[in-house]
Amino acid sequence: MSINHEPKARERTTPPEESGRTRQEVTDRHHPVLLVLLGGLCIAGSAVFVKLSGTSAGTAAFFRCTLALVVLVPLALVEYRRIGARPRRLWKLDAAAGVLLGVDYVLWAASIATVGASIATVLINIQVVVFPLLGRIFSKTPLARRFLVTLPLMLFGVALASGSLGVPVAGSDPVLGGIYGAAAGCAYAGYLYLMRLGGGQGHFVQPVGTATATAALAALVLGGLWTGIDLPSGWAAWGWLTALALIGQVLAWLIMTPALPRLAPHVSAALLLLHPVMAILLGMAIGERPTALQLGGCVLVLLVVWVANRTPQERRRGGKGEQRKS
């Protein structure tokens, strides 16, 4: 009886474990896309928050990070007590990523001041070019031929969107804004790449907290030397900066950090295109009026990146076609 009983016990306990793993595998396959899209929605309002705060580039970047740490530090301590400390090697990646993020925030805020919130958010999406290139250089992730072919169109669209071509909006500085936006996009791509390398290890809050802390330091140095950092004047400025920190920093990156390592670089970059679309609508809602050429450039940028990043879907379709032929 005992000999027959043991296999039955094993049969009862094994299926739940296997089914649990199956459910986790399903979650890993499907939820990352949704998480990145939700994070993109949180980021969409960031440029508008910066503009409405009326603060300098350095001030907006620094307080975006320091106010976020008020929430992130307690959450990181809870995570530390629950699952332990982040490995030292990964901690270094998080810290390095944060430096790039701080540089990105300062340059991006400067771009918002020169070309407006909606256009600056489109310009920073030069990251969709840089991010896959970093994956190719350092991780040997292959690039689709379509990506390389559409690259010149992407850059042309960025030039149109910034206002460097045609007649820009009165009061804007399209060339300087384009430079700031492109530089911010490069720093942002480096941040995404390093966070992707250090992700997927069970820690969600600690990497975001570390990156935010070093971003604050980078913003303090770069912003302090460049534009200066001042205390926001008035409750309205504090309110917009708090919204920027809690929605655009804490919520957005706590949502996206665990999702990015599960996606290929070009897929992550393509999904993040949702937030410039929303940012254009939000910018127009607060009175920004891009020119027809700038809007055309925005549309061109989004279309080119969408076309360049359709490769995974085509591979799946190709795979189905091959199965049918066989």
- pLDDT tens-digit series, residues 45-67: 888 899 999 999 999 999 999 99
Other beta carbons within 10 Å of 1: 4
pLDDT at 78 over 60: yes
What is the token pair recorded at 226? 């460049």
* Distinct helix (H) and strand (E) counts, the chain: 15, 0
How far does Cα 277 stand from its chain's mean position? 14
**Pairwise pLDDT comparison (304 vs 312), residue with the higher score:** 304
Burial 32-63 (b: 16+ CB within 10 A, else e): beebbbebbbbbbbbbbbbbbbebbbbbbbbb
**Pairwise pLDDT comparison (131 vs 84), residue with the higher score:** 84
pTM of the model: 0.76
Mean pLDDT of 162-180: 76
pLDDT at 228 over 90: yes
pLDDT at 316 over 80: no
pLDDT at 142 over 90: no
Q: Report pLDDT for 312.
A: 47
Q: Per DSSP, which regions of 199-268 are E strands?
A: none
Average pLDDT score over the chain = 79
Degrees, nearest 5: CA angle 62-64-70: 105
pLDDT at 19 over 60: no
pLDDT at 5 over 60: no
Q: Residues for the chain: how many in total?
A: 326
- Which of 66-70, 130-134, 222-226, 238-242 comes out lowest in average pLDDT? 130-134
Q: Is the dihedral of CA 314, 317, 323, 326 positive or negative?
A: negative
Identify the CA nearest to 107 among candidates 9, 27, 215: 215
Query: DSSP letter at 165?
Result: S
Query: From residue 112, how far is each of 15, 124, 178 by CA, in Å?
Result: 55, 10, 10
**Pairwise pLDDT comparison (120 vs 307), residue with the higher score:** 120
